[in-house]
Chains A and B, each alone.
Chain A
Amino acid sequence: MLKKIFLLIKNYYKFIILAIAFYVLIEMLNGTIPVLPRILTRYYMQILMFALINIIMTVSLNLINGFTGQFSIGHAGFMCIGAYTSAYFTTILFKASNMAYFPQLVLFIFSLIMGGLIAALAGYLIGLPTLRLKGDYLAIVTLAFGEVVRSIVRATDEIAVFFENIGLVRFSETISQLSGPRGLSSIPALSKFWFVYVTTILSIIVMRNFIYSTHGRACLSIRENELAAETMGVNTTRYKIISFSMSAFFAGVGGGLFAHVLRFIHPDNFSFIKSIDYLIYLYAGGMGSITGSIIAATGLTVLPEFLRVINFQQWRLVVYPLFLVILMLRKPDGIFGNREFSFLIPKRKEDH
C-alpha cells in the first residue's frame, strides 16, 4: 500500500508540485494567505472558476473528439443534464443551504457524482444507436441531442401537467419544481474555488490515465484507423461507447460545478452556442492534446474578460472570433497540435 502511494507520488510529483504551487499563488493573490495585497476580487475568482470548469469540459470533449476521433458537438446537453441533476439534489431534495458545512460538502460531492452518472447514462443511451454514424452525421445527431435536452427542460411545465393527468402526482410535483422555462434559482453556492480546483485536477488525472491505459490505446487506434483497429480485434463499438459515456460523465460533473458557481441555471445557458464554445476551445488548443485543451480553455475564457477589463468593451466580441480565425489560418492543428507537456505523459517502464 505504502509502496503504491510512493509510486503514485513519484509518478505525479511534477504535476502535484505544479498544481499546489499554482493553487498557493492564486490563494496569495486572493488574500486568503495574507502575503500579498489582494489583487483578485470575487469577479476574477469567478472567472477563474469558469476557466477551470471549461478545462474539465474541454478535456472531456477532447476524450471523444480528439482521442477517439468521433465528432461530437452536443457537449452542452450533457452539461445541462449534470447541472440540473446536481442542482436538483442540493437545492430541492436535500435543501443543502441550511445544513452544516461538512454534510453539505458530502452531499455536494454525492450530487455531483449523481449528475455525472445520469449524464453518462444519457451518453450511453444516445451513443448506443448513434455511434455507428460517421463523421458529420454523428456531429449533427449529438447537436440535436443537446437541443432536445434543452427543449425537454424548457417544457417541464407541460410534462408535469401530463404526468398529473395520468395520475402520477408526486412525480409531476418533482418535475414542476425544476421550473424549466423560468430557470432554477437559489442554488446554494457550494462550488468554492478550492473545490473546483481539486475536482479539475482529479478529472484531468483520471482522463489522462484513461488515455494512457490499454483502453485509451484502443480508443486511439479507433481514431487512427477504425477498420484496422477492428481487424486487430478492438471492439470499436464498445470503446466508442466507453469513451463517449466517460466524456459525458465529466461533462455532467462540469455542469454540476457550473450550476453551483452561477447559482442560477436556465436551459438557455446550455444551448448550441455553449457547445460551440467548447468546440472552439478544443480546436484552438489542438485535437488530442490535454495541454492544449487546458491552455486554450483558460486563455479563451480569460481573453474576452481581459478585453472587457482593458476598456475594449465593444470590440471584445469582434476580436475574439478574429483571433480564432487568424489562429486557425496560421496554425490549422491548433496551438499545441497533439504535443503534450512532459509532466502529462507517463514514463515508460524500463523493465519489459
Chain B
Amino acid sequence: MNKKKLSDTLNHNISIYNELANWKKYLIISIITLFFLSLYVMSFGLKSFLQQLINGIQLGSIYALIALGYTMVYGIIKLINFAHGDLFMFGAYISCFLGNYLIAQNFRFPFIVVLLVSMIITAILGMIIEKVAYKPLRFKPRLAALITALGVSLFLENFFALSPRDVPFPINKIVFGPAFLPFPALIADQTYNFAGISINNIRILNITVTILLMILLQYIVKKTMVGKAMRAVAFNKDACLMMGINIDKIISITFGIGTSLAAAAGTLFALNYGQLQSPYLGIWPGLKAFIAAVLGGIGNIPGAMVGSYLMGISETFATSINSNFGYGIAFVILIVVLIFKPAGLLGKFTKEKV
C-alpha cells in the first residue's frame, strides 16, 4: 500500500518534471499573451481592460456550466451530445415561464425556485432523451449515436419553434413558438460602480452560482459513491458490469446532472440578457461551450472550466475590438492549441499501443 503510494507520488513528480521541461514553450506562450494584453491596455485603457475582464469571466462561467455537461457525457459514453445546446435553451424557456408564473403569484424569492425547478425538469428531459435515443445505440457504431444526437438537436429546436397557432390541441400547450420573449426580472437589477468599472448584481450572482455549482459537481464526482461509479464507468464499462455497478443507472444520472447544469446555464444566460430570441438560441452557446470543453481536454472536468474561462475572456476581448474577430477568435485559439497540444490543455495524450 505504502509502496504503491510512493510510486504514485514519484510518477506524479516525474510528470510534473516533464511538464516543467517544457518551460520554454510556456514562457513563449505567456509572453505572447502578455504582449497582446498590454497592447490592449495601451490602446483602450486599464478601465476598459478590467471591465472586459469581468464581462469575460461572466461569459466564461456560462460556457463553463454548459461545457461541464458536454464533458461529463463525453467522458462517460464518448458521445458528443449535440442536443446539449438545445437542453440549455429548454432550461431557459422553462425558467422564463415559471418565473412569469411566480412573479404573478407575488412569490418572494423566485430565483432559487426557478433555478431548481428548471434544472430538475430539464434533467428529466435529458434522461428521457438518453433512454429513447442514445441507449439503443450504446454498443453500435459510435457515429450512429452522433447522428442521432444531431437529429435530436434539430428535433428539439424545430419542435419547440412550432407556432402554437399552427398546431392541434395537445401540442400547442407545449411548444414555445418562434417569437421573441422577454425574460422576467427575477432579481431587481442593481449596478455598482467601483472606480469607473460597473458591475451588475446579476453578473455577480451569475459568477457565484457557477462557482457553487462547480464545487458541488466536484464534490459529487470526487467524494460520493455515485461519482466514484461514474468515474469507474468512464474508465471501463465491462469491468463495471463485473463489479456490479448498474451502468444504465449511472449513465442516466450523468445525463441528469449534465443537463441540469445546462439548464442552470440557460437560466443565468437569459437572466443576464433579459430576453429569449427563439428556440434556436442554444446552437451557438452550445457550440462555443463544446469547443471550450475540447480546448481544456474533453472528458476532463477541470479542463472544461479552464477552457471555458479562457474562451469567454478571449471572446469578450476580441469582441470589444471587432465583433467579427470575437466570433472567429474562439476557433483560432482552438486550432492553435490543438496543433501544439493535441489532447487539449489539461487532457492526457494517450499513445496508441498495438
Point out residues on A near B: beta carbons under 8 Å.
Answer: 71, 129-130, 132-134, 136-137, 139-141, 143-145, 147-148, 151-152, 154-155, 158, 181, 227, 272-273, 276, 279-280, 283-284, 287, 314-315, 317-318, 320-322, 324-325, 328-329, 332-333
CB of A4 to closest CB in B, whole Å = 40
Bound form: Cα–Cα A333–B63 in Å: 33
Whether A151 contacts B147 in the complex (CB less than 8 A), given A129-B339, A137-B338, comes out as no
Whether A279 contacts B287 in the complex (CB less than 8 A), given A137-B343, A140-B334, A155-B324, comes out as no
Chain B residues closer than 8 Å to A148, beta-carbon distance: 328, 331-332, 335
In the complex, the answer to whether B162 meets A314 with C-beta atoms within 8 Å is yes
In the complex, the answer to whether B154 meets A324 with C-beta atoms within 8 Å is yes
Chain B residues closer than 8 Å to A145, beta-carbon distance: 331, 335
- Closest residue of chain B to A283 (Cβ to Cβ) is B147
Apart from A145-B335, A147-B328, A148-B328, list 6 A-B contacts with CB within 8 A. A130-B338, A136-B298, A137-B344, A314-B166, A314-B167, A328-B145
Residue among B290, B298, B324, B344 with the highest chain A CB neighbour number at 10 A: B324
Contact of A227 among B166, B290, B352 (CB under 8 A): B352
Point out residues on B near A: beta carbons under 8 Å.
Answer: 74, 80, 133, 136-137, 140-141, 143-148, 150-155, 158-159, 161-163, 166-167, 283, 287, 290-291, 294, 298, 322, 324-325, 327-328, 330-332, 334-335, 338-339, 342-344, 352, 354
Whether A283 contacts B144 in the complex (CB less than 8 A), given A132-B342, A272-B287, A314-B163, comes out as yes
Please classify the interface of chain B as helix (H, G, I), strand (E, B), loop, or mixed, using the class held by over half of its residues. helix
Whether A137 contacts B137 in the complex (CB less than 8 A), given A130-B338, A145-B335, A317-B154, comes out as no
In the complex, the answer to whether A144 meets B334 with C-beta atoms within 8 Å is yes
In the complex, the answer to whether A325 meets B152 with C-beta atoms within 8 Å is yes
Chain B residues closer than 8 Å to A71, beta-carbon distance: 143
In the complex, the answer to whether A321 meets B152 with C-beta atoms within 8 Å is yes
CB of B79 to closest CB in A, whole Å = 10
In the complex, the answer to whether A154 meets B327 with C-beta atoms within 8 Å is yes
In the complex, the answer to whether A280 meets B291 with C-beta atoms within 8 Å is no
In the complex, the answer to whether A130 meets B137 with C-beta atoms within 8 Å is no
Bound form: Cα–Cα A332–B147 in Å: 9
In the complex, the answer to whether B335 meets A144 with C-beta atoms within 8 Å is yes
CB of A138 to closest CB in B, whole Å = 9
In the complex, the answer to whether A280 meets B150 with C-beta atoms within 8 Å is yes
Chain B residues closer than 8 Å to A320, beta-carbon distance: 154, 158
In the complex, the answer to whether A318 meets B162 with C-beta atoms within 8 Å is yes
Chain B residues closer than 8 Å to A155, beta-carbon distance: 322, 324-325, 328
Chain B residues closer than 8 Å to A287, beta-carbon distance: 143
In the complex, the answer to whether B158 meets A151 with C-beta atoms within 8 Å is no
Contact of A151 among B133, B151, B298, B324 (CB under 8 A): B324
In the complex, the answer to whether A325 meets B331 with C-beta atoms within 8 Å is no
26 A-B pairs (CB sep. < 8 Å): A130-B335, A132-B342, A140-B290, A140-B334, A141-B338, A144-B331, A145-B335, A148-B331, A148-B335, A155-B325, A158-B322, A158-B324, A272-B283, A283-B144, A283-B147, A315-B162, A317-B154, A318-B159, A321-B154, A322-B151, A324-B147, A325-B148, A328-B147, A332-B140, A333-B141, A333-B144
Chain B residues closer than 8 Å to A324, beta-carbon distance: 147-148, 150-151, 154
Chain B residues closer than 8 Å to A328, beta-carbon distance: 137, 144-145, 147-148, 151
Chain A residues closer than 8 Å to B328, beta-carbon distance: 147-148, 151-152, 155
CB of B147 to closest CB in A, whole Å = 4
CB of B292 to closest CB in A, whole Å = 11
In the complex, the answer to whether B331 meets A318 with C-beta atoms within 8 Å is no
Chain B residues closer than 8 Å to A132, beta-carbon distance: 342
Contact of B331 among A130, A151, A284 (CB under 8 A): A151
Bound form: Cα–Cα A276–B93 in Å: 25
In the A-B complex, the 8 residue pairs with the closest CB atoms = A151-B328, A332-B144, A144-B331, A321-B154, A317-B158, A155-B324, A324-B151, A321-B155
Whether A130 contacts B339 in the complex (CB less than 8 A), given A144-B331, A155-B322, A155-B325, comes out as yes
In the complex, the answer to whether A227 meets B354 with C-beta atoms within 8 Å is yes
Bound form: Cα–Cα A54–B232 in Å: 43
Chain A residues closer than 8 Å to B74, beta-carbon distance: 136
Chain B residues closer than 8 Å to A152, beta-carbon distance: 328
In the complex, the answer to whether B141 meets A321 with C-beta atoms within 8 Å is no
In the complex, the answer to whether B335 meets A141 with C-beta atoms within 8 Å is yes
In the complex, the answer to whether A329 meets B137 with C-beta atoms within 8 Å is yes
Chain B residues closer than 8 Å to A154, beta-carbon distance: 324, 327
Contact of A137 among B153, B342, B352 (CB under 8 A): B342
Bound form: Cα–Cα A141–B153 in Å: 21
Residue among B136, B140, B331 with the highest chain A CB neighbour number at 10 A: B331
Residue among A147, A155, A273, A315 with the highest chain B CB neighbour number at 10 A: A147
Bound form: Cα–Cα A314–B166 in Å: 7
CB of B260 to closest CB in A, whole Å = 23
Chain B residues closer than 8 Å to A137, beta-carbon distance: 294, 338, 342-344
Chain A residues closer than 8 Å to B140, beta-carbon distance: 332
In the complex, the answer to whether A283 meets B154 with C-beta atoms within 8 Å is no
- Closest residue of chain A to B284 (Cβ to Cβ) is A272
Chain A residues closer than 8 Å to B133, beta-carbon distance: 325, 329
- Closest residue of chain B to A126 (Cβ to Cβ) is B335
Chain A residues closer than 8 Å to B354, beta-carbon distance: 227
Chain B residues closer than 8 Å to A332, beta-carbon distance: 137, 140-141, 144
Chain B residues closer than 8 Å to A279, beta-carbon distance: 147, 150
In the complex, the answer to whether B151 meets A325 with C-beta atoms within 8 Å is yes
Bound form: Cα–Cα A71–B151 in Å: 18
CB of B300 to closest CB in A, whole Å = 13
Chain B residues closer than 8 Å to A133, beta-carbon distance: 338, 342
In the complex, the answer to whether B334 meets A321 with C-beta atoms within 8 Å is no
In the complex, the answer to whether B338 meets A140 with C-beta atoms within 8 Å is yes
- Closest residue of chain B to A231 (Cβ to Cβ) is B354
CB of A157 to closest CB in B, whole Å = 9
- Closest residue of chain A to B339 (Cβ to Cβ) is A129
- Closest residue of chain B to A129 (Cβ to Cβ) is B339
Chain B residues closer than 8 Å to A329, beta-carbon distance: 133, 136-137, 148
Bound form: Cα–Cα A66–B146 in Å: 15
- Closest residue of chain A to B332 (Cβ to Cβ) is A148
Bound form: Cα–Cα A321–B150 in Å: 8
Whether A144 contacts B291 in the complex (CB less than 8 A), given A154-B324, A227-B354, A332-B141, comes out as yes
Bound form: Cα–Cα A207–B318 in Å: 41
- Closest residue of chain B to A145 (Cβ to Cβ) is B335
Chain A residues closer than 8 Å to B143, beta-carbon distance: 71, 283, 287
In the complex, the answer to whether B151 meets A321 with C-beta atoms within 8 Å is yes
